[in-house]
Amino acid sequence: MAKRIRKAVFPVAGLGTRFLPATKANPKEMLPVVDKPLIQYAAEEAVRAGIETLIFVNGRNKRSIPDHFDKAYELETELEQQGKLDRLEAVRNIIPPHVACIYIRQSEALGLGHAVMCAEPVVGDEPFAVILADDLIDDGEGNGCLAQMVARYDEQVASILGVQRVPEAHTDRYGVVDVDPLAERLGRLKGIVEKPQPADAPSNLGVVGRYILNSSIFNKLRQTRPGAGGEIQLTDAIDALRQDEPVLAYEFEGTRYDCGDKLGYLQATIEYGLKHPELGPAFSAYLQARG
């Protein structure tokens, strides 16, 4: 019987240099899309998938992330006194009471694989999710990409990577997988290459910021040698893992916005603005008026 996926790791120690100077003092994960920061969208997706423990692997100058998920007594008191109950509700219910937040400091920026390894003392021997808040995924149903992947894990009991088809010219921006098809949207990993040139890419299936990993990944991470820039690559550890046990690639349903990129971030802001229950109609009229 498959163990439940109860924990999710959020690597949030990156510097966000592509958004400077906006991210000089403010983490990129706290950049807002309409009225919620990216990290809140990611946390909400995890909670909808049944996650009960959110593990944030952070770095220096990231205090605003734990502050965001913490209780704000003064703000809540002021909102209550002013009768702004809808805003009070939004502030109080960022995450449900049964969900715990744990914060781990990544003392050195040694890559995504190292950030995931930092979470081992909390994860233990359980399977777990990894969510990169840069990738904002709208599945159209309101459940989220991770819920789809949890359902596949329950069926297959194997590590799963979230993938999408990317333009062939952009394979050098992704980890790209080679798979044997198993079912609709699901394949077994034969290989994975980090940021290959288009001529060298085994497919056009790029890995995005959603993973469900068995705890055996930690042993592989410890054996992974640092690569370019002295970083421990999660991709390398996954490639080693798939040689010992099945690793799957799931082509999720939904639209992904790369909010680590300025254009992707603007696209997400427009699309989420258009469907916002309060602002959507007025924003749509504004855009139409601009032609």
Each residue's pLDDT tens digit, 27-36: 899 999 999 9
Confidence band of 2 (pLDDT split at 50, 70, 90):
low
CA atoms within 13 A on the CB side of 52: 8
Confidence band of 218 (pLDDT split at 50, 70, 90):
very high
* Confidence check: pLDDT of 62 > 80: no
Give the residue among 28, 23, 20, 241 at the shortest CA–CA distance from 116: 241
Prediction pTM value: 0.93
Could you tell me the fold of the domain covering 7-289? Spore Coat Polysaccharide Biosynthesis Protein SpsA; Chain A (3.90.550)
Q: How far apart are CA 184 and CA 186, in angstroms?
A: 5
Provide the residue ranges of all domains of the chain, joining segments of one domain with +. Answer: 7-289
* Confidence check: pLDDT of 118 > 80: yes
Residue with token string 């709208």: 138
Confidence band of 228 (pLDDT split at 50, 70, 90):
low
* Confidence check: pLDDT of 1 > 70: no
